[in-house]
Amino acid sequence: MSETIKSELVIGGEHRSSSDGATFEVRNPATNQLLANVPRATFDDTRAAIDFAEDAFEKWSETPAPARAEFLYKVGEMIRKNENELAEILTLEEGKALNESLAEVIEGYDTIMYIAAEGRRMWTYVSPSEQQDKTCMVIRRPVGIVGVVTPWNFPFSIPLWKIPPALVAGNTVVFKPASATPLIAQKIVSMFEKAGLPEGVLNFVTGPGSGVGETIVSDERVKVISFTGESTTGHHIAESNSRFFRRQVLELGGKNPIIVADDADLSVAVPAILYAGFSNCGQKCTAGSRVIVMENIHEKFVEQFVKGAKALRVGNGMKPGIQVGPLINEKAREKVEGYVEIGNSEGAKLSLGGKKFADQERKLGFFFEPTIFDEASNDMRISQEEIFGPVVSVIEAGDMYEAVQIANDTKYGLSSAVYTKDLRNAFETISKLRSGIGYVNQGPTGAEVHLPFGGLKETGSGRESGEAAIENYTEKKAIYVDYSYKVRPWFFTSDS
Instruction: Give the binding site for ligand UN1 (CB under 6 A).
Output: 151, 153-154, 228, 284-286, 445-447
Q: In the complex with ligand UN1, which residue's Cβ is closer, 5 or 258?
A: 258
Q: Give the nearest distance from C-beta 137 to ligand UN1 in angstroms.
A: 36
Q: In the complex with ligand UN1, which residue's Cβ is closer, 153 or 203?
A: 153
Q: Give the nearest distance from C-beta 18 to ligand UN1 in angstroms.
A: 28
Contact 257, 410 (CB under 8 A): yes
Residue 35's Cβ-count burial label (10 Å; 0-12, 13-18, 19+) is buried
Contact 42, 19 (CB under 8 A): yes
Looking at the annotation, which residues are catalytic? 251, 285
Residues 6+ apart with CB under 8 A from 452: 436, 463, 464, 465, 466, 467, 468
Q: Give the nearest distance from C-beta 49 to ligand UN1 in angstroms.
A: 24
Counts for the chain of helices (H) and strands (E), in that order:
15, 22
Q: In the complex with ligand UN1, which residue's Cβ is closer, 69 or 97?
A: 97
Q: Give the nearest distance from C-beta 228 to ligand UN1 in angstroms.
A: 5
Strand-pairing partners, residue 134, are 482
Q: In the complex with ligand UN1, which residue's Cβ is closer, 40 or 284?
A: 284
Q: In the complex with ligand UN1, which residue's Cβ is closer, 50 or 447?
A: 447
* Three-state DSSP string of 99-152: HHHHHHHHHHHHHHHHHHHHHHCCCCCEEECCCCCEEEEEEEEECCEEEEECCC
For the chain, report the end-to-end CA distance as a whole number of angstroms.
Answer: 75
Q: Give the nearest distance from C-beta 389 to ligand UN1 in angstroms.
A: 13
Task: Compute the radius of gyration of the chain from its Cα atoms.
Answer: 24
DSSP 8-state assignment for residue 24: E
Residue 61's identity, in one-letter code, is S
